[in-house]
Amino acid sequence: MALWREGLLARAVLAGDTTGYRNHPQLDRFRERRNPVATIDCYLSRVFDEACERRYKFDASKISYRKFRHGSLVVASGQIEYEWEHLLAKLKVRDRLRWTGELQRSPESHPCFLVVDGPVASWERA
């Protein structure tokens, strides 16, 4: 739920519809794209798809829904690893059983991401 709300706020910033939150470093991942609003709409469309599978009721009229395209968003392998470690740290505190199970796995990215070799993103506050 928070991901959807935060994504909608980020979309408003990228569209120039709000003055707050403009300097958040994670917005750079969208600003680097040719069409930042279309890029975040693609991302939020995948969040919307997942929400539907989980039977949440999100309002798709808040975005311009984009059909799924393989590899439409580029992400560095270092960023994937960083976010995986961040998730594992949260699970260790919040859900030890799931944390134990996840330790046996490697992170998987959604097929809309094209994973390339590279470091943690420059905008990340590691």
**At residue 126, does pLDDT exceed 70?**
no
pLDDT digits 0-9 by tens, 32-46 = 888 899 989 988 999
- Domain total for the chain? 2
Tokens of 120: 């943690």
Mean pLDDT of 23-39: 86
Report the distance separating Cα 95 and Cα 103, nearest Å.
12
Q: What is the mean pLDDT of the chain?
A: 89
Phi and psi at residue 110, in whole multiples of 5°?
-65, 145
Report the distance separating Cα 25 and Cα 124, nearest Å.
7
Q: What is the per-residue pLDDT for 80?
A: 94
Report the distance separating Cα 102 and Cα 91, nearest Å.
9
pLDDT digits 0-9 by tens, 67-121 = 877 777 888 999 999 999 999 999 999 999 989 989 888 898 888 888 999 999 8
Report the distance separating Cα 106 and Cα 66, nearest Å.
28
Which residue segment(s) compose the domain that 76 sits in?
69-126
Report the distance separating Cα 94 and Cα 27, nearest Å.
27
**End-of-domain residue from the set 35, 51, 67:** 67
Are residues 48 and 17 located together in one domain of the fold?
A: yes
Q: What is the per-residue pLDDT for 14?
A: 95
Tokens of 53: 């599978």
Are residues 53 and 102 located together in one domain of the fold?
A: no
Are residues 3 and 60 located together in one domain of the fold?
A: yes
Are residues 80 and 119 located together in one domain of the fold?
A: yes
Are residues 39 and 82 located together in one domain of the fold?
A: no
Q: What is the per-residue pLDDT for 12?
A: 95
